Structure 1
Amino acid sequence: MNQNEFIKAYAPATVANVCCGFDVLGFALDQPGDEVWARLADKPGITITAVTGVAGLTADPKENVIGVVAQKMLDDLQLEQGLELQLHKGMPVGSGLGSSAASSAAAAFAVNELLGKPFTTQELVLYAMEGERKASGSAHADNVAPALLGGFVLVRDYAPLDVVPLGVPVDMFCSVLYPQIELKTSLSRSILKQEIPLKKGIRQWGNLAGLMVGLLKKDYGLIGRSLHDEIFEPERSILIPLFKQVKEAALAAGAMGCGISGSGPSIFALSATRETAQAVSAAMEKVYAHSGIETKSYLSPVPKEGVRLIAQTTLASA
Structure 2
Amino acid sequence: MFPKSSVRQFSSSAASAYKVTVLGAAGGIGQPLSLLMKLNHKVTNLALYDLRLGKGVATDISHIPTNSTVEGYGPEDDGLAKALKDADVVLIPAGVPRKPGMTRDDLFNTNASIVRDLAKAAAVNAPKAALLIISNPVNSTVPIVSEVLKEKGVYNPKKLFGVTTLDVLRSSRFLSQVVGTDPTTETVTVVGGHSGVTIVPLLSQTKHKDLPKEKYDALVHRIQFGGDEVVQAKNGAGSATLSMAQAGARMAGSVLKGLAGETDITEPTYIDSPLFKSEGVDFFSSRVTLGPEGVKEVHPLGTISTAEEEMIKVAKETLIKNIKKGVDFVKANP
Query: TM-score higher than 0.5 here?
Result: no
More strand by share: 1
TM-score normalized by structure 2?
0.27
